[in-house]
Amino acid sequence: MKISYHGHSVVKVETNGTNIFIDPFITGNGQCDLEADDTKADVILLTHGHNDHVGDTVEMAKRNDALVVAPFELATYLGFQGVNAHPMHIGGKYEFAFGTVKLTQAFHGSAYTEEENQRIVYTGMPAGILFKAEGKTIYHMGDTGLFSDMKLIGEQNDIDLAFVPIGDNFTMGPEDAALASDWIRAKTVVPVHYDTFPQIEQDPEAFIKSLKQAEGRVMKAGDSIDL
């Protein structure tokens, strides 16, 4: 399994011949090394409905005939736009041919902003994603504040790799993210959701040094890890 990072919260997983994108915010993402029009996606997993996470989902899904997996309200909203969407909700899991997806809690908001209509569309509860394939477990925390049930997630899952937001202002800051990393017991932790906007500028190396248990790794856009 190959996992690559592409700026902000964009993660790509390649497993069993399947290209999976999590939160593909590519166009307008100054941290991203990809071009949406040239990106091959078989599956797209979404944590919540904010524009900087939904990103290029609709265009990518239609062009690639990709399956989109998202919380129910967000999946329904995307389905109205002609996307092949599989709805899920927090606490539920589903075994797909490419791997198992389970949605966890995340404490955040979830709404898509239609700027041309000056309208905000509610897209249900935000989530984190536990993805299991090839005997490995990846935890993409999505956007979230610190919450104590992260301890349960760590106790119930053998997490090999976790993507943890550190940007502060909209999500956990570095201090809370370091505590969360201890609680989830991940073997390797990668900081995400920082430096994309002025409000979330952080020092990822300082965050890595603050970790007490997990091995930390700062990934630049385009870097990959083999599990």
pLDDT single digits (tens) 95-142: 999 999 999 999 999 999 999 999 999 999 999 999 999 999 999 999
The C-alpha angle 2, 5, 64, rounded to 5 degrees, equals 75
Residue 54 phi, psi dihedral angles, 5° rounding: -65, -45
Give me the amino acid identity at 174.
Answer: P
Buried b (16+ CB within 10 A) or exposed e, 78-107: beeeebebbbbebeeeeeeebbebbbbbbb
Ordered by where they begin, the domains of the chain are: 2-218 (3.60.15.10)
Residue with token string 């997993």: 45
**Count of residues in the chain:** 227
pLDDT of 144 reads: 98
Q: What is the mean pLDDT of the chain?
A: 97
The pLDDT value given to residue 66: 98
pTM listed for this prediction = 0.97
Strand partners, 59: none
Percent over 70 (pLDDT), the chain: 100
Containing 72, the helix (H) or strand (E) segment is helix 72-79
